[in-house]
Structure 1
Amino acid sequence: MSENIRSELFFLKQFGFSDTLLQHIFLLGTDPLQTIFNSETKMYDKFTSKERRLAGKLSDYKKFKADLFKNEELLEKNSQNKLYFKYDVNELTKLLPDKVMPLFMYSKGDCSLLNDNKKRVAIVGTRHPSNKAVAITEKIAKEFVEDNYIIVSGLAEGIDTISHETAILNKGKTIAILPTNFKKIYPKHNKELAKIISDEGLLLTSIGPNENTYKSSFLDRNQYVANISDLVIVIETNLKSGTMNTIRNASEAGKKILFVDQKDDIINNKIYEFGGEMIDD
């Protein structure tokens, strides 16, 4: 596809237009600027009320685009940052199916960790782990690093953080998938950890530099964790949790799911329903 069109779609998304509208325009093969900012467009039925308002602000858009191009670190040449477009063939579109891949995703760090010749394991669990769960996480993450696996998790408190830190401590590689953009690391106290991962591993997100994080962003993050990994290891979880959502996504993606005995038959049986296999802790 034309680099100019991909670039224009990126800026339009940061200005506030949705994936839904921009994908529709791209698949039609029409010029994005002409289609959106032409007052006589026949596509207004595809616009949300917000998008109709934005479509009347061409001069504002041009200024926004110029400012973002000048000041946004993500767009700097020769940086470690990379932009992935849904309709290109690249490392990420090979891993994420069409229904999961957003219009754009962004990485900071070593993008070779997404290559299909790499082994990746997601280690996930509660934000408030027991002491036993912490010890199990450290043991499992260390063993997988020694077996040349890349540790994947979501940079959340608890099991995610321990997984990332254990990979780094043992000279392994780790991928953190964020529910935020690179400027607004969540939780805030993991900002330094995120910096280390961007230097030594990879940060990945679907949230652009001018986009906000919503509750759905955390669920999307879980989808990406499950889909880029070869297998998912569940350390400790509740019945209704982000971890259980990741398990569900892993099941839908046909990934192997291993889990530690939760000492709760209801939780164990739920994971079994998703095709999980219990392992000896």
Structure 2
Amino acid sequence: MTKKIRSDLFFLKQYGFNDSLLQTIFQLSLDPIKSIFNNENELIMEIESMFTEKDRELARDYQKYKSFKFELFNTETFFKDSSSKIYFKYDQNDLTAVIPEKIMPLFMYSKGDVAQLSLDKKRVAIVGTRKPSEKSIELTKKITQEYVHNNYIIVSGLAEGIDTVSHETTLSLGGKTIAVLPTNFNEIYPKTNQDLANFISEEGLLLTAIGPKENTYKSSFLDRNKYVANISNLVIIIETNLKSGTMNTIRNAFESNKKILFVDQGDEAINNKIFEFGGEMLNDK
């Protein structure tokens, strides 16, 4: 029964129902389909209050939902890929072991070698600006090589710049890398990294909180940074600005009690900000 409930919650989420509603249904041990489409929510205040206007509109037509589910199940390539996996927030697995419940979304999705998430693996996030200097690119290659040779899995966010260099360097050395995406697997961002994403799915692991029918929002990029920080044992900062996605990753690493190492930014204000988050400066010579 629990497996069926998880399946129902997954398809309902892809259809557009909100996480808070679906989580409440699960926590109250209710039947998701009956609770949403049979008006049983009117009898349960905890459920009724969770419905948004969008949820109410979606709940008006059960047959339309059934058609959506049938089409998604039969056309989505994710289900036909043996290397794909869905992680549920309330299961015990390698992912829920490293991402706290308060951060973990209802579902996360992976493609590739899930052994890279094992607790006995060492993972280091190497992150930085999308527009790095030549010096930063060379430092990224050097630092990535050092950690790959020390059997670390390299974690990054598949963004342009430092992320791309760290992923590509790892693969060129025969190492393992995890790319945490802000999009689903059908809409790789940036598009120029589609081939890189394909290679990582074959040689490493792709990970995302965005399901096949879900949209990416600005908040998706910030959430991606949380997951990068939480699945890593330590975080290394190559180059960043005071207000940036990388600084957001640093903040998340600090809040997750992760070790933070960083290259001298050549800017006292930026260095001091990273020091405030417990960062330790690396010798980049």
What are the equivalent positions in structure 2 for 1:56-95 lying under 5 Å apart? 56-76=60-80, 79-95=82-98
Secondary structure of the structure 1 residue equivalent to 2:171: helix
What are the equivalent positions in structure 2 for 1:159-174 lying under 5 Å apart? 159-174=162-177
**How big is the shift at 1:39?**
2.8
How big is each residue's C-alpha offset from its partner over 1:37-70, in whole Å with a ceiling of 9 and x where there is no partner? 1235223321000000001010000011111111
Instruction: Return the match for 2:153 from 142, 150, 154.
Output: 150
Per the alignment, residue 273 of structure 1 pairs with 276
Per the alignment, residue 185 of structure 2 pairs with 182
2: CA distance, partners of 1:44 / 1:50: 13
2: CA distance, partners of 1:40 / 1:208: 27
2: CA distance, partners of 1:224 / 1:190: 20
Matched, 1:54 2:58: yes
1: CA distance, partners of 2:162 / 2:231: 18
CA RMSD of aligned residues (A): 0.9
2: CA distance, partners of 1:170 / 1:230: 21
**Residue identity in the other structure for 1:148:** N
In the alignment, is the contact (CA less than 8 A) between 2:34 and 2:40 conserved in 1? no
Per the alignment, residue 101 of structure 2 pairs with 98
How big is each residue's C-alpha offset from its partner over 1:231-260, in whole Å with a ceiling of 9 and x where there is no partner? 000000000000000000000000000000
**Residue identity in the other structure for 1:157:** E
Per the alignment, residue 253 of structure 2 pairs with 250
Secondary structure of the structure 2 residue equivalent to 1:25: helix
Per the alignment, residue 28 of structure 2 pairs with 28
**How big is the shift at 1:105?**
0.2
**How big is the shift at 1:148?**
0.2
Secondary structure of the structure 2 residue equivalent to 1:151: strand
1: CA distance, partners of 2:34 / 2:175: 48
**How big is the shift at 1:188?**
0.2
2: CA distance, partners of 1:268 / 1:119: 26
Per the alignment, residue 12 of structure 2 pairs with 12
In the alignment, is the contact (CA less than 8 A) between 1:44 and 1:52 conserved in 2? no
**How big is the shift at 1:224?**
0.2
How big is each residue's C-alpha offset from its partner over 1:166-191, in whole Å with a ceiling of 9 and x where there is no partner? 00011100000000000000000000
Matched, 1:237 2:240: yes
2: CA distance, partners of 1:103 / 1:111: 18
How big is each residue's C-alpha offset from its partner over 1:14-52, in whole Å with a ceiling of 9 and x where there is no partner? 000011110010000010001001235223321000000
Structure 2 gaps of 5+ residues are none
1: CA distance, partners of 2:213 / 2:268: 44
How big is each residue's C-alpha offset from its partner over 1:69-91, in whole Å with a ceiling of 9 and x where there is no partner? 11112223x61000000000011
Instruction: Return the match for 2:129 from 126, 138, 142.
Output: 126
Matched, 1:38 2:48: no
**Residue identity in the other structure for 1:11:** F
How big is each residue's C-alpha offset from its partner over 1:103-147, in whole Å with a ceiling of 9 and x where there is no partner? 000000000000001000000000000000000000000000000
Distance 1:280 1:86, change over 3 A: same
Number of equivalent positions: 280
- Identity value in percent: 66
